[in-house]
Amino acid sequence: MNGSTVYRQSGDWKLRGGPAGLHVFHRNTGLNVLIDEIFVPTALHARAPRQVSIALSNRCDLSCAHCYAPKFRGELRFDSVTQWLAELDAAGTLGVGFGGGEPTLHPDFMELCQYAAHETQLSVSFTTHGHHVDAEMADHLRGSIHFIRVSMDGVGLTYESIRRRSFAQLLVRLKDVGTISRFGVNVVVNEHTLPELDEVARVSADAGACELLLLPQMPLRSVLAASADTLQGLRRWVEGYKGPLKLCINESSAEGFPTCDPLVQEGGLRAYAHIDATGVLKPSSYADTGVQLGDGDVLLALAQLEHDLEENDK
Ligand code: SF4
């Protein structure tokens, strides 16, 4: 099979060559197929990360204690984001996830989603607290979004004590979310939310979610990391879960959990990168090391970041 055949693609299907073989991805269904019988020469490996998250804005109208979004002002320009998306798409990235802060507060949020869905072959997702997703926004986003992640830390009073928003109102918002695209629920796991995971999973499934992303709490000035007991309890819960939701966990917390990663050979910056709301490219949203992006220079910045990370490791 020659190079031009490896990269031929059309419509919502996208092909990506890498060390594990040929990765076939369908953005509407989220279907991933790895054809590992096909050897892809190194020169044809995708140069961009498989998945990129972009914090469109640091702004948020909630103030959750566990929030790790920076509290200084930062908001990306439409033109910069669209140039980066075009470059990433051409270099083999499969999906972009918009976040923040609260991405729906960015003044060009809907236009950016529409650009990404219709001018690129990227799968488009966003992470939201959900309280601004109404029928009007849903009408604008339908057809331009492939997946939505909604934060739900516990149910009822637990949720309300963390988010200071009505839980009943969130459930109403989930109805609009479900008219846009497939969606999942993110839950920050700590000693308060762990006992409510059964209920979070039940409510999420009833609302139409297909996935539950478990996020053990990270340490910040205002909160402690999820304790060893909490992580132990979470492992037990995962082992015992028999419901319909697909369970996922963030990579940094995955140790000790039964996970499946068919693309282990494609780690680091080939797997994932983050662009923060000031345009700094990083290996993750928590990382200190980063490279400031200009307009349309993502691949150069990736090479620089790879070099800087290698130097730091020496
Ligand atoms: S909703 Fe998200 S971005 Fe906003 S304060 Fe809470 S955790 Fe932070």
pLDDT, tens digit, 9 for 90 and up, residues 11-51: 789 999 999 999 999 999 999 999 999 999 999 999 999 99
pLDDT digits (tens, 9 = 90+) for 261-275: 778 888 899 999 999
Place of tokens 């697909």: 246
Q: Please give the single-letter amino acid code of residue 124.
A: V
Tell how far the Cα of 238 is from the centroid of ligand 1, in angstroms: 25
Q: What is the structure's pLDDT at 2?
A: 39
| 127 and 39 within one domain | no
Q: What is the structure's pLDDT at 7?
A: 44
pTM value is: 0.93
Return all residues near 288 (Cβ < 8 A) that are at least 6 apart.
none
Q: How many CB atoms sit inside 10 A of residue 242's CB?
A: 4
| 124 and 34 within one domain | no
Q: List the CATH number of the domain containing 214.
A: 3.20.20.70
| 51 and 39 within one domain | no
Ligand 1 pocket test: pick from 53, 64, 72 the residue with the most ligand atoms within 8 Å of its Cβ.
Answer: 64
Which whole-number Å values give the CA distances from 77 to 57, 140, 295, in the listed order?
Answer: 10, 20, 10
Show the ligand 1 pocket: residues with CB < 6 angstroms: 60, 62-64, 67, 69, 100-102, 129, 151
From the CA of 101, give the closest atom in ligand 1: 3
| 100 and 32 within one domain | no
| 245 and 205 within one domain | yes
Q: Which uninterrupted H or E stretch holds 24?
A: strand 21-26
| 148 and 29 within one domain | no
Tell how far the Cα of 215 is from the centroid of ligand 1, in angstroms: 14
Domain count, the chain: 2
pLDDT digits (tens, 9 = 90+) for 151-209: 999 999 999 999 999 999 999 999 999 999 999 999 999 999 999 999 999 999 999 99
Q: What is the structure's pLDDT at 69?
A: 87
Closest among 246, 193, 190 to 219, alpha carbons compared:
190
| 192 and 51 within one domain | yes
**CB of 185 within 8 A of CB of 161?**
no
User: Whose C-alpha lies nearest to ligand 1, atom 8?
Assistant: 67
| 206 and 146 within one domain | yes
pLDDT digits (tens, 9 = 90+) for 231-248: 999 999 999 999 999 999
| 82 and 204 within one domain | yes
pLDDT digits (tens, 9 = 90+) for 105-163: 999 999 999 999 999 999 999 999 999 999 999 999 999 999 999 999 999 999 999 99
Dihedral, 253, 255, 259, 261 alpha carbons, nearest 10: 90
| 138 and 151 within one domain | yes
| 36 and 80 within one domain | no
Domain encompassing residue 13 = 1-45
| 72 and 41 within one domain | no
